[in-house]
Structure 1
Amino acid sequence: MNSVLIISGHPDLAHSVANREILAQLEKALPQAEIVRLDLLYPNYQIDVAAEQNRLLNADTIVLQFPFYWYSYPALLKKWVDDVFVYGFAHGSTGGKLAGKKLLISFTTGAAAEQYQPDGAMHHRVEQFLPAFQQLANLCQMQWLPPVYSNGMMTIPNVSTAEQLAAVREKALDHATRLVKTIQD
Structure 2
Amino acid sequence: MKSFSPLFDELQRSLQVLPGVGPRSAQRMALNLIERTPSEASKLATVLAQALRDISHCHTCYVLSESETCQICADPKRDAHRLMVVESPGQLMAFERAGLHDGHYFVLNGLISPLDGISPDQVRIPQLLKRVGDGVTEVVLALTSSVEGEATAHYIKAQCPGVTLTRLARGIPMGGDIESLDPNTLELALGARESWS
Normalised TM-score (structure 2): 0.37
Larger-Rg structure: 2
TM-score normalised per structure 1: 0.39
Identify, as 1 or 2, the structure richer in helix. 2
Say which structure, 1 or 2, has more relative contact order (CA 8 Å, 6+ apart): 1
